Amino acid sequence: MKTIVLKVEYDGTDYYGFQKQTGNENKTPTIQGKIEAALDKILGRHFDTKGSGRTDSGVHAFGQIVSVQIAPDFNLRITPEGLKRLLNNKLAPDIMVKSVNIVDGDFHALGLSKVKSYAYIVKYGAPDAFTGRYCWQVNKEIDFNRLKELIPMFKGDVFCAPFCAGDVDENCMESYYKEIYFFRFYKIKKRSTIVFIIKARGFLYKMVRRLIGFLIDYSTGRFDLQTAKKVMADYKLRSLYITAPPNGLFLYKVKY
């Protein structure tokens, strides 16, 4: 058995996320659907793909890993470089295969991942016509000392139920604790830009976007530190902050 492993970069603006939808790909196009369609044409047979992360609609990726398990009865003759070239010829310009590896045995892009890194970009200066697809434009004044004060609280074993979307299952609250290995922000003053980097083994649904929204709300004075700590302890207070939009979020890197 062999597995094709792709490293894929994409602009998610015009797609309904990475994962295929139940509807028509022509109406609700996805990254996974486009990759599988291209593989079908090249290989002459359908193979399911697995992604390292299910990025939402409008979210981008620098390093999405996609695995394709090849059936034992299929004679895979194409070289990795040849497959990369053919895929990029068939995919739209906003989806690009950066590398192709063919490995022996089974490799699951999601199940074997150890650390995922996400980047989120916030622009706080004057708006322009070019960066809106790839950042969140914040027009309020940001207090960077407030960011420095709060962000260290999100490291280690963190209760993340207050930062996920959807219903919270009170019968398995332990599943809402996530080990966050790294969470920092970098201020790029010349570009009036903040880049957040967060690394963890796994993330809850919309967790990164909600964390960024919470941090930006605190840094712009929407609530005080006492309220922030209450939100961090109680998922029922999620309505007190906003969720950052998808266009600033990038799946940055996956380690195995």
Domain containing residue 18: CATH number:
3.30.70.580
The pLDDT assigned to 23 comes to 73
The pLDDT assigned to 26 comes to 87
CATH number of domain containing 124: 3.30.70.660
Residues 120 and 93 in one domain: no
Contacting residues for 220 by C-beta, under 8 A, at least 6 apart: 138, 140, 141, 142, 143
Residues 124 and 248 in one domain: yes
Residues 132 and 65 in one domain: no
Q: Of 56, 73, 104, 167, which residue is the catalytic one?
A: 56
Q: Is 11 a catalytic residue?
A: no
Of the candidates 72, 77, 14, the residue with the CA atom closest to the CA atom of residue 43: 77
Of the candidates 147, 123, 122, 128, the residue with the CA atom closest to the CA atom of residue 209: 122
Domain that holds residue 46: 2-104
Point out the domain boundary residue: 58, 76, 104.
104
The pLDDT assigned to 208 comes to 98
Token pair listed for 143? 């207090």
Write the pLDDT tens digit of every residue in 99-157.
999 999 999 999 999 999 999 999 998 898 988 999 999 999 999 999 999 999 999 99
Decide if 120 contacts 138 (C-beta within 8 A): no
Mean pLDDT in the chain? 96
Q: Which residues of the chain have pLDDT under 70?
A: none
Point out the domain boundary residue: 76, 104, 132.
104
* Cα 184 to Cα 128: distance, rounded to the nearest angstrom: 26
User: Pairing relation of β-strands 49-51 and 60-70?
Assistant: antiparallel
Q: In 6-44, which positions are buried (b, 16+ CB within 10 angstroms) versus exposed (e)? A: bbbbbbbeebbbbebeeeeeeeebbbbbbbbebbeeebe
Could you identify the residue written with the tokens 């420095």?
Answer: 148
Residues 89 and 131 in one domain: no
Q: How many domains does the chain have?
A: 2
The pLDDT assigned to 125 comes to 87
Decide if 142 contacts 220 (C-beta within 8 A): yes
110 located within any domain = no
Contacting residues for 223 by C-beta, under 8 A, at least 6 apart: 217, 231, 240, 241
Residues 152 and 219 in one domain: yes
